[in-house]
Each structure stands twice: as C-alpha cells, then as structure tokens.
Chain A
Amino acid sequence: MKVNDLILQTVTTLLAFIIIIFSIYLFFAGHYTPGGGFIGGLMTSAALVLLLLAFDQKTMNKVFPFNFLTVAASGLLISTLTGVGSFFFDVPFLTHTFDYVELPILGETALASTLIFDLGVYLVVVGIAMTIIQTIGESE
C-alpha cells in the first residue's frame, strides 16, 4: 500500500535546511562555544537521515550523487594533510596556528588552521554515519 506522506516530505524539505544550517553553525562555532566537527558532522547526517526517511534511497542518490565512503576517506585525508602541512613550516606534526584577519563582510575574525583539521573530522563523521545507515538500510 502506497502511503501518502506529503506532510512529512514538505516538513522535511524545510527542516533539513534548518538542521544543516544549525550543524554548520555548530561546526564553525566549535572553537569558541560548544560544538565542533564531531557534533556538526553528526547533526548534518541527522538532516540527511531525515531526508532518507521522508524520501527514498533513489532520490537521495540523485540529490547527493556521491559515495559517502569517499567522503569519509577524503575527510581523513584532509586531517592528515593538515598535520603534514606543518612540516613545510619546520614545526612538529599537527602544529596549528591562528591569526585575526579582517574579512570583507564579517569584520575582524579569528581564523585558525585547526578549522581545516576539524573540517576533516566533520567529513569523516558525515561519511561514516551515512555509509553505515545506507549500507544497513540497503541490505536485505
């Protein structure tokens, strides 16, 4: 029996954006307030899971046409490369730096290299959460 879940789908379309925006907020705010790559990543995947529940795997694949294992792997790669990058400045592995930069719209902002590392963490978490859920969901 085909169920008409119009309300769910409509609400999800709206909510997913809000959740994703909140997760991006958590990710960027991590250095100053509670949050960070891990929680941000989990929150993003929560939004994706909600989409997955409301629509189906096919639609998901159409909207997000990438393999989540690749996402996890590239996240790991980014984090590792952040560490490797510190070798170019003749400092130990995974040494981070930060500075205050004047940005066009945001004004004076602290930009830390840890953000790139955290981006890696974020991508890994999104990648693995989605991989696990999709793989289990697909399996019969």
Chain B
Amino acid sequence: MSLIHLVILSPLLLAIFVPLLHKYFKSIHTGWFVLILPLVLFVYFLSYLGTSMSGNTYLSTMNWIPSMGINFSVYVDGLGLLFALLITGIGSLVVLYSIYYLSKEKEALNTFYVYLLMFMGAMLGVVLSDNLIVLYSFWELTSISSFLLISYWYHREKSRYGALKSMLITVFGGLAMLAGIILLYNMTGTFSVRETIANVDLVTGHELFVPALILFLLGAFTKSAQFPFHIWLPDAMEAPTPVSAYLHSATMVKAGIYLVARMSPVFAGAPEWFWLISVFGIITLFWGSFSAVKQTDLKSILAFSTISQLGLIMTLLGVGSAAVYYDYLSPNVYTVATLAAVFHLINHATFKGSLFMVVGIVDHETGTRDIRKLGGLMNLMPITFTLAIIGCFSMAGLPPFNGFLSKEMFFTGMLRATEIGVWNMDTLGWLFPVLAWVASIFTFIYSMVIVFKTFTGKLQPEKLDKKPHEAPMGMLIPPIVLASLVIIFGFFPNTLKGIIFPTLHSIFPGNFTVEEVDIYFWHGWTPELFMTIGVIGFGTFLYLTLAKWGKIYNWFPQRLTLNKLYDGGLVGLERGSFAFTKFYMTGYIRNYLVMIFGFMAILLAILLTRNGAFNFNLDNTTPVGVYEVVLSLIMVISAITILFTTSRLSAIIALGVVGYSMALFFVLFRAPDLALTQLIVETVSVALFLLCFYHLPDLSKEVSRLKFRLTNFIISVSVGLVVILIGLSVNSSRLFESISSYFEVASYEEAGGKNMVNVILVDFRGLDTLFEIAVLTIAAFGIFAMIKLRLADKKGEVNDEG
C-alpha cells in the first residue's frame, strides 16, 4: 500500500469521521472540515503534472485478490491525471459552494458530506484504477453515492423518483460493463487495462470482440447520459445544486467519456466502435440541444445542455478513433477530433460547473428556477449576471471564451470526418457537420435563453418567494474561479497543453506522437469560422422569433417520449411479472402437483429417450404363477374402486384391501418380517383413516365421485407409464451382482443371527434403524404437540372447531 492508495481511499476514510465532526463541532459548518481534503488532494495531483508532462506514468499495485488477478493497481497517466484534477479541483469548489448553499441548521449536513466524500473517493478510484474489476467496483460506488445524493431531500417524491431512475439506468449499464469486462478477461486472461492494451492482438479479431465492445459502450452510454439513456439526467436535477454541479456536469457523467477514452486503445479502429460512438454521440448532441430549448426550468435546461455537450465529446472521440484505423499516419488529420474532445471536456467542466452554481444562486436568492417567473435580475445581481454571461457565451461557442476554441475544433473534426474514405463515410459523412451545425444553433438559443430570460426584461417580484439580492461572497467565489478559468483557457489555451497531450498519449498509445498543435483563435477565413458566424446569425434570428416557432415542440405526441416509455416499461414489467406469478402461483396444491408430476414425467421420458435406456430384456424374469395373477387382479380392482367409488368409506376399505394384498405378496415372495409389519401397519393406518373420516365436518360433507379432469388423467397415466418403463429397463439392465450373497454368509458367521433381515436392520445397517426410530419419535412428539398445543384456541383468535 503506497501513498497513492491512501490518497484514493482518503475521502472514504474521512467520510467515517464526518458524523463525529458534525456532532462534536456543532458551531462550525461541517463543510469546512471536508474542504481541506480535496484541496490537499488537488495540490497532490498537481505534483504529478511534471511526471505526466515528460511522458512518464506511475504505477503502484496493492494486492487484493491476487489468486484471481484482482489487485488494487493505481495507474497515473495523462488521462487519469486530467480526471483526478477535475474531480479534486471542482470538488473543492463545490464543497466551498455547498458550505454557503446548505444551511447549517436546516439540513442534515453529516449525511450530505458522507455521500459526497464517498462519491469523490469512488470517482478517483474509477479514473485511477488499472484493474477493471476494481474500476467496476468504484464505478458502482459512484452509482450508489449518486443515488444517495439525488435523493438527499428524500421526503420529496420527485427526488426519490429521480434517484430510482438514475439508479436503475446506471446500474443496468454497470452490469453490462461487468459482462464486458468478463468477456475481455476471457480473451486476454487479465483484468489489467495496460496488459489488455499490450495484448490487443488477442482482442481484435476475436469472435467476442463485438459483444464486449457493445457491453462496454452500454456502460459508458448509460453513465454519460447518451441517447436513449439520457432520461435519468434531467430527473437527477432534484438533487441539491452543488450535487448537480459536481456529479451531473463535471465528474460522474464524464465517467462514461473516461471509459470510452480509456478503452479506445483496445477497441478503436473498428468500424463498430466508430459508428456506435459517433452516431449515438451526434444524436445525443442534437436531441439534447433541441430538447433544452423547450425547458422552462433552469436546471432542466442545464441538464439537457449537459446531455448535448456530452454527446459532442462522445462524437469527437468516435471520429477521433478513425486515427487508429489509419495507423497514425502522419500528418494525421483525425487526431484533432480527439484533441478537441479532451479540450472540450475541460472547458465543459469549467463553464457548466459555474453555470450550475449560478443557477443555484438564482434559485437560492429568488426561490424559483422557473424562467417564466424570473427576469430583470441584472441590476440586482450584477456579479451573478456577469458569471452567467461568461458561462453561457462560452457554452454557445462565442469568442473570446474557451467554448469558441473547442467549437471551432469540433467543426474541424466534423468536417474532416466527411473525408474519411472508409466505413460508408463517403455516403453518410455529410450528416455529421450538418447535424453538428444545427445542434450548435440550438445550443446558442438555449444559452441565450438562460442569460436573457433570467437577467433581462422586467422584474416580477410578486411571483418570487423571496426578495432577490446578490449572493454572499462565499457562494460567488467558486463560480468566479471557474469563470476566470473559462477566460484564462480562452485566451491562453496553450497552458493546457501539459495536460492535454499526455491525455492524448493515453488515448493513442504506442509509438505515435501527437503533432504539437497550438490552439489559437484565428485560423483565417476557414469554413469553421463561417459555420460559427452562421450559428450566431441563425441563432440570434431564431432566438428572437422563439415565441413564433416554439410551438413545434407541442407537435410531438407526449405518448411517444422516452420518459413515457420508461415509466410504461416499469409499470408493464411490474404488471407482467405480477400476472405471470399469479398465473402459476395459484395457491392450489393440485396445480402445483400437476406441475411437479408433469415436469417429472416429461424430464424422465426425455432423459430415458436420449440415453436410449429402453432396452427390455425378459430373460431373467421368473415365471408368473397363478397366485401372483390373482393377487395382482385383486389389487388392480381395488385401485380402480378407489378411483371410481362415490363413498369415502369404500375408498378407505379398498385401500386396506390393497395393503393386505401387499402383505400377501410379501408372503408370496418370502418376506415374513415385511408381511408381519405390513399387516399391522396397514391395520393401524386404516384405523387412522377411519378416524379422519369420522371427524369430517358435517356441513360440507358431500358424497360425490371424483371429477374427471383430462390434465390429471394425462399426467397420472404418463407418470405411471414412465415409472413402469423405468422399472422394466432397470430390471433388464443389471450391471453387477447384488451384495446379498455376502449377507447370507456373514449374518450367521459374523453377527450370530439367522434372521438375515433383522441382522441387517440392527447390526449391518443399524444406523438406518437408529434414525428411523428417531423419525417415529419425532412423529409421535409432533402429533402430541399438534393436538395438545392449541395456542390459537387459547387466545380465542381462531376457532373453527364448532
């Protein structure tokens, strides 16, 4: 166990002490204690930057289950470090923000920070684990802690609904990913990501390649809210705003992006990978931005915006994977897409984090997030307004913010995607830039909606719960830090090279060297620039006429939305399983017996047929005498009498006849002990039957013959047939001699008895007898207890005796 293991686990360790801190330092907001940790971790991870920039990586392994190849291996490379810095950096800001956002008196702070720290630790574990099983464990821990955080205000029904939804969807994907991990393990024999990449030849071309790929993508798509699994994210907005800012914009939803980037060296280069990621990404991008425009809740707009931006990053990663197909031929024009993906990942974390915090401030200071009630806050909240402008303009892709740079690079990537000469891109490639451009227009519109509908226009104080005013400074510091990063990265994007290029090396390993590209504003009069100008032009026009064309959103039938599908699916699943259970769990013993016997007959018949067990050999059979025939006839007649008699008394007597005939058979086959026992036991059981018969209640006493049921008939006939056939075939295929010859000799010589049966019972196999008499004693005690102990009667609860 080295320091880095402790670093990953430190949030979980601190989480143990949070309730104590909360209890014993009541006067101090618990968040202050928590704040120290992510700050320290952030500084600690910064110290790795030097290692990472010089192209080195750091690996440390702690044994967990070495016999199964599952070890807690921490691997710090560019990609992991980028995410670790995001998690700890934004984590610190979010904790600071939450100190001012959550009230010390009203909220259960101890649980909040425990969940948040659990999440932070889990997320660090996801991005820094080299072992896939460990990664999966942390992955599920992020799902669980996210579930807990969404339902933080668990008394609200919508919180619980959102938490359950996100849990179901992300855990579904997580389990799919686990299956993918196991498939990969089958191919390579290792759980380590690095070793899998080293043995990538075993994976490509393997028949399980495509299933594993799809399963991994299911995990990534559900976690990163890609179409059609994006529906959980808008409902997760019921969480407190710091949680939405942290989990649902900057970190957890990027876990899927991380997974795609991490597994790129394994899967990239395959057309399935390219198509699935690019197509689902671009659909998500378009659908997210399109749906964001119709939202009226600020957090919902941001949720759909996050969905759309995640789709954008996903598309870029997909298009970037074409670089692997071309074997990194230089100059490689497709790596720019991956570069844009990484760059936009950082940018999105900065501006989306700050926007969520801005929305949180608006909500906190006015009491509503509904844009129909908001307006005219510009003069009341000037700092928040500035922050909103920076965040939204960056999101819309306007200069001079960092969003402009990543949007330009995005367009470059999309335009180059049309030039890919393989995988049908020559026919379908034009869709990418077109969809991207349209989606960008919608992005522009909803960004403007956030800024102008909230902050300009007329103030409507009568609709607001509180009197709006500027937020306290502590609440403004985190978004100010993020917004300044937006501007710094906008003006000096090349400061990020130290992080971006090691990340690209992790996504494209091997000898490949990323061409050192400078990111700068002015490319000249390129098509990308014209596209951006078009976005601004069309966007402004559409924003101004929003009231006119906004009605198209009403055209969509509500029935066909994915949420309706999800809800209906859940209800249907519940109803279906209930109906199915009700169908076969009838509560009637006769139905269960039909199933048990039917199953038994069918299974045995199939087994006998498949093994060819029906070979009847009548050579060893003894000749049948007249006594046997007569006795058999008597038994058959009594058995049929039992079936067809109308009175129960005759049935009992017929049963007795069967029993006594059986005793006669024992006499006939020379088993005197058995005959004696059978006689007495039969007498006793007939007596007991008569007792039962005598005590039947008078009211429902009905004398009727057995009703004929076809199913019962078929089942009983087939069971009888199968058992007869088994008996016959067992008798005809005796494999070895019986051991009875041993008993014949040994019973006198070794046990001193001449009655072989009794000697076997008490001497050779005395243990059986011992437990049989134990069974009898238990039965006697049981009957005694059943009759003597009538607890229900004593209490007067149930009394059906009268």
Contact = CB atoms under 8 A, between A and B. Distances in A.
Contacts of B591: none
A32 B777 contact: no
Given A31-B753, A39-B677, A131 B784 contact: yes
Contact of B762 (A34, A36, A39): A36
A79 interface: yes
Contact of A31 (B684, B759, B777): B759
Interface string B767-791: 1011001101101110110011000
Select the residue from A37, A46, A72 with max chain B CB neighbours within 10 A: A72
Query: Chain B at the A interface: mostly helix, strand, loop or mixed?
Result: helix
A34 B755 CA distance: 6
Contacts of A117: 762, 766, 769
A96 B761 CA distance: 12
Interface in B630-688: 672-673, 676-677, 680-681, 684, 688
Contacts of B676: 26, 34-35, 39
Select the residue from B680, B681, B773, B777 with max chain A CB neighbours within 10 A: B773
A128 interface: yes
Contacts of A42: 677, 680-681, 684
B782 to A, nearest CB: 10
Interface in A93-128: 93-94, 96, 98-99, 110, 112, 114, 117-118, 120-121, 124-125, 127-128
A33 B755 contact: yes
A96 B777 contact: no
B753 A112 contact: yes
B272 interface: no
Nearest to B759: A31
A76 B776 CA distance: 10
A30 B755 contact: yes
Interface of A: 26, 29-39, 42-43, 46, 69, 72-73, 75-76, 79-80, 83, 93-94, 96, 98-99, 110, 112, 114, 117-118, 120-121, 124-125, 127-129, 131-132, 135-136, 138-139
B438 interface: no
Given A69-B784, A79-B773, A128-B776, A33 B754 contact: yes
Nearest to B765: A94
A112 B753 CA distance: 9
Nearest to A79: B770
A134 to B, nearest CB: 9
A26 B766 CA distance: 19
A129 B684 contact: yes
Given A114-B751, A117-B762, A73 B788 contact: no
Nearest to A114: B762
A29 to B, nearest CB: 8
Nearest to B676: A39
Contact of B781 (A69, A75, A114, A129): A69
Nearest 8 CB-CB pairings of A with B: A98-B752, A128-B780, A34-B672, A31-B753, A124-B773, A32-B754, A36-B758, A94-B766
Given A94-B767, A112-B753, A124-B777, A30 B758 contact: yes
Contacts of A121: 762, 769, 773
B753 A124 contact: no
A125 B776 contact: yes
A93 B752 contact: no
A65 B781 CA distance: 19
A72 B681 CA distance: 18
A39 B757 CA distance: 13
B759 A127 contact: no
A32 B753 contact: yes
Contact of B774 (A26, A76, A127): A76
A41 to B, nearest CB: 10
Interface of B: 672-673, 676-677, 680-681, 684, 688, 691, 751-755, 757-759, 761-763, 766-767, 769-770, 773-774, 776-777, 779-781, 783-784, 787-788
Contacts of B751: 96, 98, 112, 114
B773 A114 contact: no
A52 to B, nearest CB: 12
B673 A35 contact: yes
A69 B776 CA distance: 11
Given A33-B755, A39-B680, A136 B691 contact: yes
A37 B684 contact: no
Nearest to A32: B754
Contact of A38 (B677, B684, B691): B677
Contacts of A124: 773, 776-777
Contacts of A138: 787
Contact of B783 (A26, A34, A132): A132
Contacts of A38: 677, 761
A44 to B, nearest CB: 11
Contacts of B681: 42
Given A34-B673, A136-B783, A114 B753 contact: yes
B787 A83 contact: no
A32 B755 contact: yes
Given A43-B680, A135-B784, A135-B787, A37 B762 contact: yes
Contact of A96 (B672, B766, B773): B766
Contacts of B774: 76
A110 B754 CA distance: 11
Contact of B766 (A73, A83, A125): A83
Contact of A118 (B762, B777, B784, B787): B762
A125 B776 CA distance: 8
B776 A110 contact: no
A113 to B, nearest CB: 9
B680 A36 contact: no
Contacts of A132: 779-780, 783
Given A112-B751, A131-B784, A75 B773 contact: yes
20 contacts: A33-B754, A33-B755, A36-B761, A36-B762, A38-B761, A42-B680, A76-B777, A79-B770, A83-B766, A96-B763, A98-B753, A114-B766, A117-B769, A121-B769, A125-B773, A125-B776, A127-B777, A131-B784, A135-B787, A136-B787
A35 B757 CA distance: 9
A117 B672 CA distance: 21
Given A38-B677, A79-B773, A135 B755 contact: no
Nearest to B786: A135
